[in-house]
């Protein structure tokens, strides 16, 4: 939740989500709405910064910040900020920029901090290794079967 309640820096026109038009009873409910993870198909990864966002509303708010388009809605709490204060709000109040980049495995939904770890996971968990016979076109699932030929 925002720490800076200075109305010149943070103004809330209502407790309405500007992304889906749903109205909430309090600020905590609105913030929860922005942070609530959708199923894996609802998560969005921003191509410019590779930030993994929990749902379509948070993604749309984040995208507008990149595009410098109003309304400047905080992707974490749903607060509507003036353009001059949105960066301060998301970096110091809601810490939106502290989210780490994640790379999700499409098979198991596991998230890794870098591409090399994801690649290692895929190779170790989702790929079968075959051992090709050097004398014929056959391939085998284990080295011991290949050696016994």
Name the segment(s) of the chain with CATH classification 3.30.160.
103-148
Q: What is the CATH class of 103-148?
A: alpha beta
pLDDT per position as a tens digit, 100-115: 667 778 888 888 878 8
**pTM metric for this prediction:** 0.56
Tokens of 54: 């929990």
Tokens of 37: 């993870």
Structure confidence at residue 47 (pLDDT): 62
Q: Note down pLDDT in tens along the chain; length 149 residues.
A: 445 555 445 556 568 888 888 999 888 888 888 888 766 556 666 666 767 788 888 889 999 998 999 888 888 888 888 888 888 888 887 777 766 667 778 888 888 878 899 999 999 999 988 999 999 999 998 888 888 87
């Amino acid at each position: 939740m925002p720490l800076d309640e200075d109305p010149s820096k943070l103004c809330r026109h209502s407790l309405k989500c500007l992304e889906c038009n749903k109205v909430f009873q309090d600020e905590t409910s609105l913030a929860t709405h922005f942070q609530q993870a959708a199923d894996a198909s609802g998560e969005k990864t921003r191509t410019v910064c590779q930030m993994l966002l929990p749902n379509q509303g948070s993604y749309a708010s984040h995208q507008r910040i990149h595009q410098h388009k109003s309304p400047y809605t905080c992707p974490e709490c749903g607060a509507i900020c003036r353009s001059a204060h949105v960066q301060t709000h998301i970096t110091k109040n809601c810490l939106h920029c502290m989210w780490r980049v994640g790379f999700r495995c499409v098979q198991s939904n596991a998230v890794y901090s870098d591409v090399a770890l994801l690649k290692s996971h895929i190779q170790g968990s989702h790929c079968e290794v075959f051992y090709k016979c050097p004398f014929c076109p056959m391939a085998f699932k284990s080295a011991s079967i290949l050696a016994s030929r």
